[in-house]
Structure 1
Amino acid sequence: MLFFSISVSLLAAAGSVVAAPTLHHHARDRENGTLLLIGVNIAGFDFGCSIHGSCHLSQVTPPLTSLGGVDGVGQMRHFAKDDGMDIFRLPVGWQYLVNKKLGGDLDAENAGNYDQLVQACLATGSHCVIDIHNYARWNGKIIGQGGPSNAQFVSLWTQLAEKYAGTDKVIFGVMNEPHDVPNIDKWVETVQAVVTAIRKAGAKTQMILLPGDDWTSAEAMARGSGPLLLEVKNPDGSTDGLVFDVHMYLDSDLSGTHPDCVTDNIDFAFQPLATWLRSHKRQALTSETGGGNTSSCEKYLCRQIQFFHENADVFLGYTGWSAGAFNPETYHLSEVPTKKGNKWEDTALVKACLVRKPSTSG
C-alpha cells in the first residue's frame, strides 16, 4: 500500500498532452482500448512486513488451504475463469524467503510454500508477479545505502531467477514501494544490478518491473526516479521487458488508507505519466491501485481504469489491491471474493471496475 501524501492542490493540476510515436510493446502490439494484463494482488505471504522492511514471520498468513489459510487458489481460479483476469501479484517478504538469513539461500520450506502459490497462479494460465514486499529495506536499513549490500539483494534475485527462468509468465517485481531513499542514483545502481543478475541467471525474456522512490508513485515517476531509471538496461543494452512499476490510490491523501475516493488521478498523475512514457517509448504497469467498496470509489476507480484502457499503448495493465488473506469484513480495501456454495461473489468494486468487460477484451 502507498503511504505517502501530496498536496491537495495537485489534484486539480492538469497534464499537457503531446503527440508521440506508436510504440512496439513488450508482449505484442496493442491498440488503445485493450489492456494486456488485468488482475489483483493475492496477499498473505507479505503479512507482518512493515514499511521499514521488518517482517515478522509469525504474522505470515499464506493464502493456501494446504497451509491452513484461505483459499487463494480458488480465488485466482475464479478471477481468471469468471472475470477474465490474467495477472496476479504475489507479495512476499524477503525475510520469509530466506528464513531471516540475509544473503543466504532460499529456505527450502518457506520458498516451497510460496512456490505453491506461484504454481497455482501459473496453472490458471495467468502471469504471476513475484513481489518482494520490503520497501527497499531489511529491518529498517536501505539496500546499498547502509543496509544490505547490493550483492546480498542480488543473491536473492539470482536464486529466484534461476528457479523461474524457464517460466515465461513469471514477472519479476524487483521491490515494493521504495520510499525516502536518500540517494536515488545509488538506488538505480541497485536496480541495475538486479536486472543484470536476473538476465544472467537465464531469465532472458521475462518482464521485470522497475521501482522508483516515492512509494513508486505514478504521480512522481516522470519527474522523480523515472529519468534515472530510463538508464537501466539489459546486458545486451536493450530495454526489452523492462517496465516501470507504479502505484496510485484514490483517497484524500493518496495513501490507500481510507475507504472513500476523491480523485481518478488522471489529470495530475496518469496523463502526465502517459505523455512521458510515450516520449521515451516505454511502458508501465500499475501493480497497486484500489479503494473501498463505496460509491465514490466505484466512480473514480472506474474512470481511472477506463483511462488505462484508452491509453493501453503505454499502460500494460493493473493489479488491484487486494484479495488473498485479508478479512473481507474488516479490511477497507478488500477485493476478496466470497464463496457461496460452488460460486464466488465479487466485491462491489471488483464487479464495477476491475473485471475484464466484454467491450474491452482482447
Structure 2
Amino acid sequence: MVVRRTIAGSVLVSLLFGALPASAAECLRGANAAGAEFGEVLPGEFGRHYIYPSAETLRYLRSKGMNVIRLPFRWERLQKKQFAEFDKVELKRLQETVATATGLGMTVVLDPSNFAMYYQKNIGSEDVPIEAFADFWRRLAPLFSGRDDIIYLIMNEPAFVTAQQWLPAANAAIAEVRKAGADNFVLVPGTIWTAAVHWYADQEGGSNAQVMRGVVDPMNHYGFDIHQYLDDDYSGTKTACNKVDEAIAGLERVTAWMEETGNRAFLGEFGGHARPDCYRGLARVVSLLNSRPDIWTGWTIWAAGDWWGDYPLSVQPLEDGLDRPQMVAIEPFIARKTPEERSCEALRRR
C-alpha cells in the first residue's frame, strides 16, 4: 500500500523541507498515522494485531508538506499492568517511530488511544484508579521531556465518562507531566468523543464547555484536542458528508469558547469518504482552522496508515502511488503561507 521511495528520494524530501526548528513554531498540519492502536486483542502480537507506521508512510506525509503526525497507540501495550515498568520492546517501537518522524522534521502528537479506559475499564473506577493513569504519565513524560517537537495528548476521545468524572483524571495526568519536569505542550480532550458539536451538550455535572474550564496546568502550556466528522451522526462511519454546515457551526462555537476562555485548540481528527460533498467539507474545515492561527495550533486528518486497505477515510496513497482524493482536497491548505501561519500564535508559550 505504501509508496516505494529510494534513500535518495528521502534525502530530497529532507532538503526540500528540512527539520523544523523548535523556534519556528509553525502551525501544525498533518495526518493521523494509525496502526499501533489497532486490534481488540490486548496486549496483542506486533505484526499480527497491530503495527506502527512505516518510514515510507511518514516520508510520504512529509513529502506532501505535512509537519505533524498524531500517533495513536494503546496504553495496555506499553504498560501491561498498572503501576508496572513499561514494556521495553514496545517502548523501543514507539521511540523508533518518533525518531523517524522527528528526523524528517515532523512534530509528533503522542496519543494513548484508550477512550479513557484500560483493559475496557473506565479510568476513575475501582478497577482503574486515577492514580494508575497518573502513573502512566509519570513514566512516559520524562522520556520525551523538553522537546517542542513532541506533544503530549493525555488521552484519545474519552467516551464513557462525563466531563465531571474526566476532569480530575486529566488534571492528575497534567500534574505528573509537570512534576516530571516535562515542559512539552499538552493536549487535553473533552468527553463525548471530544466532538466540537458536543462541546456544549448537556451532561450530568456540566457540559465540556462548563467543566473543562477547570483544567489546571502549572505551566499554562496546554490546549484542547477537538474532533469533528461531517456525516449524519458525526462519527465518520457514514458515507455522506451531510452535516458539514453543522460541523462548521460547532467548530466556530468552539473557536469562540477558546477565545472567551483564553485557550487554544488542535483538531486531532476529522475526515470524510471519497465523494464530492466530503471534499468540499474537508476544504471548509481546514480553511476555517487555517484562518485562526491565534486559536488553532493545527490539525491532523484521519487517517494514514499501512494497514488501511480500502478503508473509506484513508489518506494512505493508493497501490500505484497516487494520492487519495481526500489528500488532493486538503493539499492546497497544508502549506504555511502567511507570517502568522509560519509563526503560530497559538503555539507560543504564555
Category of TM-score, reference length = shorter chain: 0.7 to 0.9
Within the candidate set 312, 328, 332, 1:351 is matched to 328
Could you tell me which residue of structure 2 aligns to residue 149 of structure 1?
129
Aligned counterpart in structure 1 of residue 252 of structure 2, from 261, 267, 271: 271
Candidates 37, 44, 55, aligned match of 1:46:
37
What residue number does 2:216 align with? 233
Q: Equivalents in 2 of 1:28, 1:282: separation in Å?
A: 21
What residue number does 2:140 align with? 160
Aligned equivalent of 2:191 = 213
Give the partner amino acid of 2:118: W
The equivalences for 1:24-173 within 5 A come to 36-49=27-40, 55-58=42-45, 60-64=49-53, 72-80=54-62, 82-98=63-79, 100-173=80-153
Displacement after TM superposition at 1:185 (Å): 2.5
Write 1 or 2 for the structure with the bigger share of helix: 2
Match of residue 313, structure 2, among 333, 345, 359: 333
Residues 319 and 55 of structure 1, relative CA distance in 2, 3 Å threshold: farther
The offset of 1:29, in angstroms, is: 11
CA distance in 2, matches of 1:313, 1:358: 14
Please say if residues 197 and 247 of structure 2, whose CA atoms lie closer than 8 Å, have aligned partners that are also in contact.
no
Letter in 1 for 2:58: M
* Contact preservation (8 Å) 2:282, 2:329: no
Distance 2:23 2:256 in 1: 20
**Cα distance 1:234–1:299, how it changes in 2: closer, same or farther (>3 A)?**
same
Q: Secondary structure of the equivalent of 1:171?
A: strand
Q: CA deviation at 1:348?
A: 0.8
Going from structure 1 to structure 2, the CA distance change for 1:162 and 1:28 (only over 3 Å counts) comes to: closer
TM-score by structure 1 length?
Answer: 0.79
**Contact map agreement 2:223 2:263 (CA 8 A) in 1:** yes
Q: How many residues end up aligned between the 2 structures?
A: 310
Q: Deviations over 1:132-162 (max 9, x none)?
A: 0110011222111333111211111111111
CA offset at residue 226 of structure 1? 3.4
1:308 is the counterpart of 2:295: no
Residue 165 of structure 1 deviates from its aligned partner by: 0.6
User: What is the SS of the residue equivalent to 2:175?
Assistant: helix
Q: Is the CA contact 1:118–1:128 (under 8 Å) kept in the aligned structure 2?
A: yes
- Structure 1 residue ranges, 4+ long, deviating more than 6 angstroms after superposition: 27-30
Deviation of 1:234 (Å):
2.1
Give the aligned CA root-mean-square deviation in angstroms. 2.3
C-alpha deviation, 1:305, in angstroms: 1.1
Could you tell me which residue of structure 1 aligns to residue 346 of structure 2? none
What amino acid is aligned across from residue 210 of structure 2 in structure 1?
A: P
Whether 1:255 aligns to 2:261 is no
User: Which digits, 9 at most, give the CA deviation of each residue in 1:50-75, with x for residues without a partner?
Assistant: xxxx74513532235xxxxxxx2122
Match of 1:15 in 2: none
| Correspondence for 1:68 | none
Q: 1:352 to 1:359 in 2, by over 3 A?
A: farther
Letter in 1 for 2:37: D
1:236-276 per-position Cα deviation (integer Å, ceiling 9, x unaligned)? xx52x210111110111111112331132455301111111
2:348 matched residue in structure 1: none
Are residues 1:287 and 2:268 paired?
Answer: yes
Note the alpha carbon deviations across 1:34-65, whole angstroms, 9 max, x for none. x711000111110015xxxx74513532235x
Structure 1 contact 137–147 (Cα < 8 Å) conserved: no
- In structure 1, runs of 5+ residues without a counterpart are 1-26, 65-71
Give the letter aligned to residue 353 of structure 1: I
187-196 or 220-229, which deviates more: 220-229
The percentage of counterpart residues that share the same residue type is 28
TM-score normalised per structure 2: 0.82
Matches of 2:74 and 2:164 in 1, distance apart?
25
